[in-house]
Amino acid sequence: MAGSTALLSALIQGTQRPVSIDGTTLTGSELLGAASAVASGLHGRTRVAVNATPSIETVVAVAGAVLAGVTVVPVPPDSGAAELQHVLRDSRPDAWLGAAPPAVAAGLPPGSTPLEHLGVDVTARASYRPVAVADDAIAFVLYTSGTTGPPKGVLMPRSAVAAGLDGLAQAWDWTGDDVLAHGLPLFHVHGLILGVLGPLRLGCGLLHTTRPTPERYAAAARAGATMFFGVPTVWSRVADSPADAAALRGARLLVSGSAALPVPVFERIERLTGLRVVERYGMSETLITVATRADGSATAGCVGVPIAGVATRLRDEHGAEVAHDGESVGQLQVRGATTFAGYLNRPDATAQAWTADGWFRTGDVATIDAAGRHRIVGRESVDLIKTGGYRVGAGEIESVLLGHAAVAECAVVGVTDADLGQRIVAYVVPREPVVDEAGLAEELVSLVGAELSAHKRPREVRFVADLPRNEMGKVQKKRLV
């Protein structure tokens, strides 16, 4: 039963602090009793789908499945019929654990038998009965965002989840004395693995705010939260609400992830709270591999160093080593205890994801300095711009543009150009209506030229009302290109 005991150790050992979501609170013993009741009803099951709403039912369902050694397929509650159809056909769960999404009837694969619904009663109680589960057993099938085709099912072993959480506990001094607050979705790595299983493993309290608004984060701070998780959009809104931001001054750690935190937001949060937001980097296939440590060394735009048990390296398009000088951009590759066991039903994609010598190709490009600190430039497919013989990272240009008072948001992409190969184009969301677009565009181009190099200046600036984003707040640049 090593795998079962190791993954939710604090919950099982009776050291779990209360978990609260949307006005419902369960003590550690109540949560263990409810999860054990769920686990007792999963005998003979191997894989269940969970409609991952931001609710105590989701926490109980996931915890119960983990205790029973049953694989969980978290399903976004707003999934459309096509997405549901793909996920259900690909993962073929034995049942829905809890209520299914409204679109489930339309999402069932043609000719399939409707899935059985297994109820989740958060008031039920049962004694915990240990189940023998191997450490390499699959805990979750996490579906990717599907930016390069239909979403792929990432097979995440229990051992990888445990290693990732322990690595972050070490990096962030994360213990059972903390109270974590966040309002992130419960179907991704950030909100579910870190934001729910983290507390259940380490024993800290959890205050899920249902929605990640500045007002709710401030209320959580007044209720005693010591750690906060958020995506850049959340921290930007907190920075724009000084009174709510001030309530976070008593917190121990503010964490940002899932996308790059703009430098101006980092600086405003520090002024308002006295805290430097720590960033981290990871993906569904690797969980969190790199994180800024909770030692006061946070630097704007830097996602930190590899956590315990993880190694990273940079390679160019020919596989040659890229210098760790803080400037040279290369393809980021990782290996270690937190990596996945492959893509469900996709041996071809699994094989392509790994190098011949056993490193996972993240698809991201980054720089690493002499101290091992990582700066993510972005996705190789859209953020590494090859222009006029130069390799330019879109992220550094975006950081400069965001430093201008007139810029609320921006995204820099490379557009095919017959002369340059790619020309740099900046999409800018202004803070206020622009009277003289040509004048502001010229000003922004000059700013980049002054702060960086001449060849990194945008050839074109396009003003837009907003940027296309996915449910985690990441800008979908392929829709811009």
What CATH number should be reported for the domain holding residue 446? 3.30.300.30
Residue 110: predicted pLDDT: 57
Residue 220 located in a structural domain: no
Give me the pLDDT at residue 450, please: 84
Judgement on whether residues 454 and 346 belong to the same structural domain of the protein = no
Q: What CATH number should be reported for the domain holding residue 159?
A: 3.40.50.12780
Q: Which residues contact 312 (CB under 8 A, 6 or more apart)?
A: 289, 290, 306, 332, 333, 334, 368, 374
**Measured between alpha carbons, how far is 78 from 260 in angstroms, rounded to an integer?**
25
Contact criterion met (CB below 8 Å) for 149 and 159: no
User: Whole-angstrom Cα distance, residue 472 to residue 232?
Assistant: 9
282 and 429 housed in the same domain: no
Kindly state whether residue 271 falls inside one of the protein's structural domains. no
In this structure, the answer to whether residues 41 and 186 fall within a common structural domain is yes
CA distances from 159 to 134, 167, 423 (A): 9, 12, 44
pLDDT of residue 23: 87
Any domain includes 252? no
Residues 175 and 60 in one domain: yes
Question: Looking at the structure, do residues 27 and 103 belong to the same domain, yes or no?
Answer: yes
Beta pairing, strands 421-430 & 460-463: parallel
* Listed residues 347, 380, 413: the one ending a domain: 380
Q: Which amino acid is residue 311, in one-letter code?
A: A
Q: Is residue 258 part of a domain?
A: no
338 belongs to a structural domain: yes
Please tell me whether residues 347 and 401 are part of one structural domain.
Answer: no
CA–CA distance from 261 to each of 267, 305, 407, 457 (Å)? 10, 16, 15, 21
Q: Are 71 and 92 in contact (CB under 8 A)?
A: no
| Cα–Cα distance for residue pair 396/353, rounded to 1 Å | 27
Flag whether 60 is in a domain.
Answer: yes
**What CATH code is carried by the domain that includes residue 323?**
2.30.38.10
How does pLDDT run along the chain (481 residues), one tens digit per residue?
445 457 999 999 999 999 999 889 999 999 999 999 999 999 999 999 999 999 999 999 999 999 999 999 999 887 777 778 888 999 999 999 998 877 665 555 555 667 889 999 999 999 999 999 999 999 999 998 655 567 899 999 999 999 999 999 999 999 999 999 999 999 989 999 999 999 999 999 999 999 999 999 999 999 999 999 998 889 989 999 999 999 999 999 999 998 788 888 899 999 999 999 999 999 999 999 999 999 878 998 899 999 999 999 999 988 999 999 998 889 999 999 999 999 999 999 999 999 999 999 999 999 999 999 999 987 777 777 888 777 787 887 888 898 898 999 999 999 988 788 889 999 999 999 999 999 999 999 999 988 887 888 999 999 999 999 876 567 888 888 7
Q: Which of 211, 245, 262 delimits the end of a domain?
A: 211
Give exposure, 346-362, as e/b (b: 16+ Cβ within 10 Å).
beeebeebeeeeebbbb
Quick one: pLDDT at residue 308? 96
Residues 316 and 207 in one domain: no
C-alpha dihedral (382, 386, 392, 393), degrees to nearest 10: 10
Q: Which of 166, 158, 10 is nearest to 72 (CA)?
A: 158
The answer to whether position 234 is within a domain reads no
For residues 47 and 296, give the distance between their C-alpha atoms in angstroms, rounded to a whole number. Answer: 42
**CA angle in degrees (0–180, nearest 5) for 408-413-414:** 155
State the amino acid at position 14 in one-letter form: G
Q: 452: domain range?
A: 388-480
**Quick one: pLDDT at residue 73?**
97
Tally of structural domains, the chain: 3
What are the Cα distances from residue 329, in Å, to 57, 310, 326? 44, 20, 8
Query: Which one of 322, 349, 380 terminates a domain?
Result: 380
* Whether residue 369 is found in the same domain as residue 419: no
Same-domain check for residues 328 and 436: no
Residue 227 falls within a domain, yes or no? no
Q: Is the dihedral of CA 100, 102, 103, 106 positive or negative?
A: positive
